[in-house]
Each structure stands twice: as C-alpha cells, then as structure tokens.
Structure 1
Amino acid sequence: MGLVSGLEVIEQCVSRGLVAGAFNTTNIETTMGIVQAIENTRVPTFIQCAPTNAVLSGYEYIHDMVSRRLAKVDVPVALHLDHGRTLDDVTQSLAAGFTSIMMDASGHEYDTNVDLSRKARELTPAQFALEVELGSIGGKEDDLGPEREATTDPDQVAEFVAATGCEMLAVSVGNVHGYAPDVRIDMDLLRKVQQASAVPLVIHGGSGLPRQQLGRLAEFGVVKVNVASDLRNAMIRTFGEAYAANPNEYALIRVSQQAVTAITDVVENRIRTFNPKLAR
C-alpha cells in the first residue's frame, strides 16, 4: 500500500472506533519493529519522527526507510512530523515526503501559536493532516522540556481549532512527555476539551500513562496517542542486556534482531491497550 495521508488514518480510525498509535522511529530496527506490530494488529497507525531525531539521518532517510518497509503492508500508515517547532521543519519534512504534520507552537503565547499554526496549515497540502497543540505538555522530549507548562483551556478550544484549520488537536490534560509512571490524565478536563473541539484529540506521553486510562481514550474523542520512550528503552535495554551478559559480544545482527522483537512486542502491546476490543 505504501504511505497514506494522515487524513486517511484519522478517517479510518474514527469510522471504526479505533485509536491510532503514533510511534517514533530513528533507525531501521525501530522501524521494522513498528511495522511488524502494525501487520500483526492491522490497525491504522502513524509512524513519526521529530526534528530532534531527524538530525541523525535527515528527513529523506526516514521517509525512504519507512516507505520501503511499508511497500507491501496493506494497512493505512501515515508518516508524521512530530513536534515541528518551526515552519522550516514543516517545509523540510513535506519536501522529504511526509504525509502528516504537527506544528507545535505551544511554547509561544496564544496569538503567536495561532499565527504559526495557521501558516503551517497554509504550507501543508489540503490532502494531508495538520496537528497543532493548545496548552503546553510538560516532561521532556529527547531531553528537551518546554519553557512553560500549561493545561489546555476548554474555553479556548473552539476558537483555536477554527482559527488554525487543524485536523487534530494535541492537548495537555495531565499527560507529560517521556516516561513518568505516576502521571494521570484529568478525565474530567479531557471530557470538557472533547465537548469543545470540532476535531479529534491527540494525547502525547503515552509511555507512562496507566493501561486503564489508555483503554478508555476512544470514549473521549482521542484518535492518536504518541509513544516514544517505551520503544527507545526496549532497544537500549536489549543491547545493554546483551553487553552485560557478554562484554565481548560481537553478533550485532543477532542482537539487532532481538531488539526488533522487543520493539514489536512493545508496539503491539500499546496498540492493543489503546483498542481493548481488538480481536487477537
């Protein structure tokens, strides 16, 4: 099938009552693990990369790697720019073939956030999806934290969505980036945001949230949940355990294959957690 627009992933999930995982990749092992889990579950999915990770290989390499792995996969998958902070991030990722965009101007004041988000909408083709963020999600993304943290104000949601022309709204409702096992979503606040939003919602920081809450997100208009830390930890842990067991280990391919399996398990577990009615 190859890559599809983020709009198609959203439409399929909304029509089928599913929640799409959005899994970050930076290398071939992570990509292979994500794609295998997608094949196992057959749930429409976002594979994504943030500018902080694209510095390792560039957006073109990420696109080439992901699109090649998906060429024979008959499940809708979009390649998403995660946390684009500048309009240049948007332009570069689109030029490389990304099919879904996040413009994260949440670190700015409200009016600047609206302005940058609207300009990102103008740059993003109409057939592609745009995600924007209202409120500022805490925690750290690739060791970078926000200058300020703020929960999403339900009273601003309708105006913000209309002004930016977005198709997805990332919200700050108690969730944080990175792995923070003690955090909880404020479900009452999430409900208020849902009621005010004309578009589906996005939850970032899916690695640390409890299964009970993750399994209910479809009830609250959530269409996309971001997961990165769990995948990265699975890969680092696999190589760390191999080294600890044998400091003279040299079978790189074998350990890489073990990492792919570990990542597949994590991604499949997350997809099934988001969609508890999914048949096995």
Structure 2
Amino acid sequence: MPLVNGHVLLDIIKERKVIAGAFNTTNLETTVGILEAVEKSGIPTFIQVAPTNITLAGYDYLVDMVARYAENMDTPVALHLDHGKKFEDVKKAIRAGFTSVMIDGAAFDFEENIAFTKKAVDFAKAYGIPVEAELGAILGKEDDHVSESDAKTDPLQVKEFVERTGCDMLAVSVGNVHGLEDEPNIDFELLEEICELSPVPLVIHGGSGIPDEHIQRMVEHNVAKVNIASDLRQSYIRSVGISYNQNNNEANLIRVLEEAEKAVCETVYQKILNMNSVVARV
C-alpha cells in the first residue's frame, strides 16, 4: 500500500492497542531490512530518519526508496522525520513526501519551544501531516550530538504545551536515554502522571536500551511510538565486521550487504514482537 499518513497510522495503532516501533534508517540495506521485518510482523510501524543521517541519500531519494517498497506491503507504514532541529528540516521533509515529522525544540526554554514548535505545526497542518514535539531534555548520545542534560518532562507543563502548539504527539523524558552508553531508568509514576494530563499520544526515545517488558507496559500509558536506532545499527555494523573477520580479502560487496540487511531485519522483527509481546509467526 502507499505510505500511510501519520494521523492514520496513529488511529490504527490506537485501535489495535499496540506500540509502534519507529526504526531509524540510513541507507538502502537498512531500509529494506526494516520494511521486510515490518511486513513479516504485520504490526503498523514508523520508519524514520534524522537530518544528521539524511546526507547519505537526501530527502527525495529516501522517500522514493521507502515508498517503492511500501507499495507492495500489506502492513501500514509511515515515513517520519526524527529530530528535526531546524524549521527548514521540517519543510524539506514534508515537501519531499514524508508523512509524519518531528520538530525538536527541547534545547529551548518553555516559551521558545512553544513558538518554535507552533511554527512547524502551522506549516505541517496545510499538508495534513502530524507533528511530534519534545518537552524535556533526554540524556545521551544521538548520532554525533551528545546531551548531558537530563531534565525530565514537567507534567504541569504538558497540557499547556500541547494546547498552545497544537502538536499531535509528544516525546517525553521520563528516564529514557539516547544510545547505549547510559542506563535508562523509566519513572513509571511520572509517565502515568503525564499520560493523565496529555491530550495527545506519547513518544519514548531511546528504546534500544529499555527492557522489552517495560516497553510492553507503556501501551497502558498512552505511549504510541518508541524510537529504536542503536540496536539495528549495531546489527548492521557487527554483520559487516563478521564478514571482514571471516575473510579480510572479501571483495563480494553484495554478499556482505545482503548479510547486513538480513541482520537488520532479524533485529527489527524480534524487537517489534518483543515490544508487543507477540509470538513469532511461523
């Protein structure tokens, strides 16, 4: 089927009472590995890319890759911009054909974040595209950006932030961290408090380091989307490294990349099932 609008995907997620993984891609092999796993799982999912990783292919080429594969899928998938830190990132992604976007103003103070986010929401609204925003700073390493801030989301700011910005999803900081170098410690009491106050579905970043059983609990707290990047990137890099170690004179690039694609697919497929406590399909 064609790429699904993020609003539609959120409705499907809510109806099926599942948590959608949001898996970060970088190149063709990672993209195909993710989408193959999504189709095999049958669980609606986001595939996403951050501006820091778009340089390898560009917005238009990435849309083309994902859309071409999705056309032959039965499982709904949306293409999401992850961590757009500039308004220009959002504009480029939407105009290229992304069906969901994130504007990340977490580095700003409350009022600045509201103004920054609302500008993106107003632009995206004309295209019918949902916007994810972030309130609270998330500790850890995201690509080359290292954040030493660990400011948990203030639940008393949530309702006002959502209402004044008009955002459709809210990424929150509740002890989750980017990357695998820091240990997540999910504060479920805080997550529950935010859930009760938020008019929109919640998003958890840094899903690679969070135990699956904790992610499974999050569906009870209006979490619709959990971002996963480090796990599949490590699978890809590890697969290439194994191929090299097995034969450091290897010149068959196709074989090496096919193995990397397979490794990504297996990681994503297992993660989707584990997050939703689903038994693997035979």
Q: TM-score, normalised by structure 2?
A: 0.96
* Structure 1 residue ranges without an equivalent (≥5): none
C-alpha contact (below 8 Å) 1:107/1:146 kept by paired residues:
no
Match of 2:67 in 1: 67
Amino acid at match of 1:236: I
Q: How far apart, in 1, do the equivalents of 2:279 and 2:99 lie?
A: 26
Q: CA deviation at 1:205?
A: 0.3
Q: How far apart, in 2, do the equivalents of 1:2 and 1:125 lie?
A: 20
Cα distance 1:191–1:180, how it changes in 2: closer, same or farther (>3 A)?
A: farther
1:97 aligns with 2:117: no
Aligned length: 280
Q: How far apart, in 2, do the equivalents of 1:278 and 1:78 lie?
A: 24
C-alpha contact (below 8 Å) 2:27/2:56 kept by paired residues:
no
Kindly report which structure 2 residues correspond to 1:60-209, keeping only aligned pairs within 5 A, or say none: 60-125=60-125, 127-146=128-147, 148-180=149-181, 182-209=183-210
C-alpha contact (below 8 Å) 1:23/1:47 kept by paired residues:
yes
Q: How far apart, in 2, do the equivalents of 1:195 and 1:15 lie?
A: 19
1:242 aligns with 2:243: yes
* Structure 2 residue ranges without an equivalent (≥5): none
Q: How far apart, in 2, do the equivalents of 1:187 and 1:142 lie?
A: 27
CA deviation profile, 1:96-132 (whole Å, cap 9, x unmatched): 1111010000101110000010000011035221100
Q: CA deviation at 1:198?
A: 0.8
CA deviation profile, 1:44-67 (whole Å, cap 9, x unmatched): 111101000012221111111111
CA deviation profile, 1:122-152 (whole Å, cap 9, x unmatched): 1103522110000011111102023633100
Q: Between the two proteins, what is the percent identity of the paired residues?
A: 50
* 1:198 counterpart SS class: coil
C-alpha contact (below 8 Å) 1:181/1:210 kept by paired residues:
no
C-alpha contact (below 8 Å) 1:23/1:228 kept by paired residues:
yes
Match of 1:34 in 2: 34
Q: How far apart, in 1, do the equivalents of 2:193 and 2:221 lie?
A: 9
Amino acid at match of 1:152: T
Q: CA deviation at 1:211?
A: 1.8
CA deviation profile, 1:180-203 (whole Å, cap 9, x unmatched): 473221111111110110111000
* 1:3 counterpart SS class: coil
Q: How far apart, in 1, do the equivalents of 2:93 and 2:26 lie?
A: 14
Q: TM-score, normalised by structure 1?
A: 0.97
* 2:102 counterpart SS class: strand
Match of 2:217 in 1: 216
Match of 2:55 in 1: 55
Amino acid at match of 1:208: G
Q: How far apart, in 2, do the equivalents of 1:114 and 1:147 lie?
A: 22
Q: How far apart, in 1, do the equivalents of 2:280 and 2:212 lie?
A: 17
Q: How far apart, in 1, do the equivalents of 2:155 and 2:182 lie?
A: 26
